[in-house]
Chains A and B, each alone.
Chain A
Amino acid sequence: MQKQAIFQSRLLPYALVAPQLAIVLIFFYWPALQAVIQSFLLQDAFGLSTTFVWFENYIDLFRDPSYFEAIVRTFFFSFAIAVSSLSFALLLAVMADKPLRGSMLYRTLLIWPYAVAPPVVGVLWIFMLHPSLGVLSRYLRGLGVDWNPLLDGDQAAALIILAAAWKQISYNFLFFLAGLQAIPKSVFEAAAIDGARPMRRFWTVTFPLLSPTIFFLLVVNIVYAFFDTFGIIDTMTRGGPGTSTVTLVYKVYSDGLLGGNLGSSAAQSVILMVMVIVLTGIQFRFVERKVTY
């Protein structure tokens, strides 16, 4: 699609795109290129010399069991966060879509956590579930749970998933509500006339019609779990105990900064880039379908 009515000018358009082009080239393409180059280099321990090592950094990564664990962990986190947050948000959205008194108020009261930053989410949840002083830990111990996410890796993982899913509820709720409101009400009426009970109406009418929204949100949630959980993890567990909450992004950060292993960190960055490109590609394919749906 192109505009028919346009202006003629030789230099003006270049001047207009110049600022964005400059920023994108300096702060996007140049670093991305550097990451790719760096991933083929090996630096000695003192940073004095570098040698070109082809795919050694990548091969080392895939031989490293801790990297493999981080991949599995990241996908597990993503899946757990997406499924728990999506199902809870869908329940709330279906309820809020009913013609209830005060539905605007409900919406307002449910969407604001979108604005809470990941590190703040981390701080809020670690405070509530802190082993020695958390207000909820008292009750957990009262129930006989030996609660200590700072020492127990599984509990730490559960805490991260819980906090990350909590933050994402509002986003998913908003998109589900928009998706539900876009379904013509006559469809429900037809199903009701056919004698379908509400639960059956949901599974046979609402859910299938909502599937584009669900797919879209699934991708968005996975990307969110990949990247935005960094702030949550860094304030709550800092990857620990041990490495039980180290995700791929956290590993890029900690290997590069704390370990000083830039070649490996760069190779990890490149692998992440490929993963994001694949995910975004899936999303775009889907968005195109949404238009013609």
Chain B
Amino acid sequence: MVEEEGFRRYVAHIILWIGIAIVAFPVYIAIIASTQDNALIANGQMSLLPGGHFFEVYYQTIFVGTSGSTREPVGNMMLNSLVMALLIAVGKIAISIISAYAIVYFRFPFRMPIFWIIFITLMLPVEVRIYPTYKIVADLHMLDSYAGLSLPLIASATATLLFRQFFMTVPDELLEASRIDGAGPLRFFWDTLLPLSRTNMAALFVILFILGWNQYLWPLLITTRDDMQTIQVGIRKMITTTDALTEWPIVMATAVLAMLPPVFVVVAMQKLFVRGLVETEK
């Protein structure tokens, strides 16, 4: 181990704390602003210390929404975001794990073409095919629905590749053993492969949940009804072009509520998060 002198160590600690301060400052301001009076903020006289309106602001944000005519309680938006994120995460894992299983453990005509068809989707995010996708979802009458919100975002190969890679490392002896025990392909998948994939699935779930919760452009396009808004779309609509009408404490409370679930997931499940991040390179 290379010895670090005391002075250099202090410098390292200081630089890291400066980094943490820079990273945390915008969020600190948001939390502070969400406890203050709108008039004070609108005048540019916001205090840098917590105000006394915490309960009032959060109650209004979660259960009532802004005072505008198109108000929508943020609690409902969070529910929409939650359903969408869960559908994307669970849906992607479910369809990917079975297709990876087929591609690794079976030989069948068109196996490689099918693999390539799925693999190529890795390259193109939804942003580059946004309007044609919108049109298809509209033709299928899936605008303003959870299916419309989640299905187009499930169409990607990351998870399939990951499971394929993992299955390749599973020793062949396991399959021989369960075959001797008389297990068929479905039994082997359910009793042996799924339990082995548990950590991979969990790591993937953490990443996909965060990505799903944070989706913006797609929900913005396909939700027209206020009660189908996700929180990311809702917060944008709260910032009115005429600044005077923006209710900043509610906007900031919404920002805090929008950050809470994914940040909690990152901090509480850090190991899985890091693993999922490194594996998917998202």
Q: Which A residues are within 8 Å of any B CB, using their own CB?
A: 1, 3-10, 12-14, 16-17, 19-21, 23-35, 38, 88, 91-92, 95-96, 98-100, 106-121, 123-128, 130, 132-135, 137-138, 166, 169-171, 174-175, 178, 185, 188-189, 192, 198, 216, 220, 227, 230-231, 234-235, 249, 252-253, 256-257, 262, 265-266, 269, 272-273, 276-277, 280
Contact = CB atoms under 8 A, between A and B. Distances in A.
14 contacts: A1-B168, A13-B108, A16-B106, A35-B132, A119-B233, A125-B26, A127-B30, A133-B41, A192-B2, A230-B127, A231-B232, A249-B127, A249-B128, A276-B128
B101 interface: yes
B46 interface: yes
A174 B282 CA distance: 12
Interface stretch (B60-68, B71-79, B197-205, B235-243): B235-243
Given A9-B106, A19-B99, A253 B29 contact: no
Contact of B1 (A12, A117, A189, A276): A189
Given A16-B98, A109-B24, A253-B217, A123 B263 contact: no
Contacts of A27: 133, 136-137, 151-152, 154-155
A7 B108 CA distance: 10
The main secondary structure of chain A at its interface with chain B is helix
Contacts of B123: 276-277, 280
Contacts of A171: 277
A10 B108 contact: yes
B266 to A, nearest CB: 5
A112 B220 CA distance: 25
B103 A132 contact: no
Interface string B173-184: 001100000001
Contacts of B214: 115-118
B262 interface: yes
Interface string B230-262: 001101100100010000100110010011001
A230 B1 CA distance: 45
B143 to A, nearest CB: 14
B95 A20 contact: yes
A252 B24 CA distance: 33
A106 B98 CA distance: 39
Contacts of B22: 166
Contacts of A189: 1-2
Nearest to B251: A123
Contact of A98 (B12, B122, B188): B12
Contacts of B104: 3
Interface string B79-95: 00000000000000011
A17 B216 contact: no
A30 B111 CA distance: 21
Nearest to B4: A98
The main secondary structure of chain B at its interface with chain A is helix
Interface string B214-231: 101100110000000000
A221 to B, nearest CB: 12
B2 A185 contact: yes
B: interface residue count bin? 35 or more
Given A32-B129, A125-B26, A262-B131, A23 B154 contact: yes
Given A6-B107, A112-B263, A166 B26 contact: yes
Nearest to B165: A1
Given A35-B132, A231-B232, A110 B277 contact: no
A220 B277 CA distance: 12
Nearest to A281: B123
A117 B215 CA distance: 8
B100 to A, nearest CB: 9
Interface string B147-159: 0000110111100
Contact of B160 (A20, A99, A115): A20
Interface in B126-144: 127-133, 135-137
B131 A35 contact: yes
A130 B30 CA distance: 13
B98 A19 contact: yes
B230 to A, nearest CB: 10
Contact of A115 (B4, B155, B262): B262
Contact of B102 (A16, A137, A170, A231): A16
A95 B117 contact: no
Contacts of A216: 281
Given A123-B255, A124-B27, A128-B26, A115 B263 contact: yes
